[in-house]
Amino acid sequence: MSESGPRVDTGARVAPPTAGQGRETGTPSGGDSERTLPAVATDAARDAAGTTLSGATRKRPRFRPSRVPIFVWVFGVILLGIVMAAILAPLIAPFEPFRGDLRARLAPPMWIDGGSSEHPLGTDSRGYDILSQLVYGARTSLTIGLVALLIGATIGTALGLVAGYFGSRVDEVVMTVVDIQLAFPFVLLAIAVIAVVGPGFGVLIVVVGLSGWVTYARIARARVLSLKEIGFVEAIRSVGATDRRVILRHILPNALSPLIVVSTLELARLIILEATLSFLGLGIPPRTRASWGAMIGGGREYLGSDEGWWISVIPGIMLFLTALGVSRIGDWVRDALDPTLRHD
């Protein structure tokens, strides 16, 4: 027997083990740190995917702040400020969001003639402080966006993995449901659900969350099908791995990169969707939670006038910066995780 050990015919070239790895055998023996056949099959499958593996561990590129574009830092700081404002809303807000003062009705922001530091961003037609509603509205928008994102990502990824892996009737059923939801206008679906169940914070989270699961299902299914085409799944199953282990330990990690990118882009869409439903009166009930969409809708009659324009403009600017920041950072994450665009 040679020093490098016998070769195992797995359909692809397997690199010889380094010192301390032992022989490539079916079962480990003694105190040697030996490679098992599943590991060899996994190496062969990855070689078929175009990834050359050897006994040495591949070094990951280090994170270098100098390589991060300036716009990522700018929007990152803006988003960090919005998140901190949402977390510290009770400490930042000068008033309760729905504490009205009719004597200060339609007070302008402090940088306009007639404004005061008591209401830095002015008040609305009912005397509600704009700054207080703004920071509490950030808490509402981010909470709904993140929880709805988690719901949609979990359901969509699970169904997409199952549909792509098992195929046949399971795939047909899942993709039929996907096509039905894509063909049905979501606003009509939201109106129907809210009309039957009634408006509420929890109902809005569920409705918004179910609006985006189809995206994750299609991406996860496509990723599974691509892995099956290169023999990755068959190589793992040939050594006796269960379906659950194949899906959770081998397929899901290889599908995370595109799903993470979609999640960053989907978050912006969900925040805008929540604001849209609140603007139309289909979101959170009035005087229960502050919402940027409800603020924009409440001040739309003052747009174009010299009085009260700030009621809709200021929350509109915050919604624009939040959605743009999340979207641009999502684009950067996509480029950073794409090996064809990575420069080490």
Can you list the domains of the chain with their CATH numbers?
Answer: 1-59 (no CATH), 65-337 (1.10.3720.10)
Residue type, 251: I
pLDDT in the model for residue 214: 92
8 touches 37 (CB < 8 A): yes
Is residue 330 within 8 Å of residue 264, measured between CB atoms? yes
**Distances in whole angstroms, Cα of residue 188 to Cα of each of 149, 191, 195:** 21, 5, 10
**217 close to 164: Cβ distance less than 8 angstroms:** no
CA dihedral sign, ordered 239, 243, 248, 254: positive
Q: Which helix (H) or strand (E) holds 332?
A: helix 310-337
Find the helix packing angle between 252-279 and 213-229, rounded to 10°: 160
**Torsion sign, CA atoms 61, 65, 66, 67:** positive
pLDDT in the model for residue 64: 58
DSSP secondary structure, 66-82, as one string = GGS-HHHHHHHHHHHHH
pTM equals 0.74
> What pLDDT is recorded for position 192?
83
Q: What is the pLDDT of residue 318?
A: 92
One digit per residue, pLDDT tens: the chain, 344 residues? 444 444 444 444 444 444 444 444 444 444 444 444 444 444 544 444 444 333 334 444 554 555 777 888 888 899 999 999 999 988 988 888 888 778 888 888 888 887 788 888 988 888 899 999 999 999 999 999 999 999 999 999 999 999 988 888 899 999 999 998 888 888 788 878 887 887 888 888 988 888 889 999 999 999 888 887 777 777 777 787 787 888 888 888 888 888 888 888 889 899 998 888 888 888 887 778 888 988 898 888 888 777 888 889 999 999 999 999 888 888 888 777 765 555 44
* Rounded distance between C-alpha atoms, residue 267 and residue 150, angstroms: 10
How many alpha carbons lie under 13 Å from residue 284 in its C-beta half-sphere? 22
pLDDT of residue 150: 94
| pLDDT at position 66 | 56
Angle between helix 130-166 and helix 201-210 axes, rounded to 10 deg: 40
Give the DSSP per-residue string, 189-255: HHHHHHHHH---HHHHHHHHHHTSHHHHHHHHHHHHHHHHHTTHHHHHHTTT--HHHIIIIIIHHHH
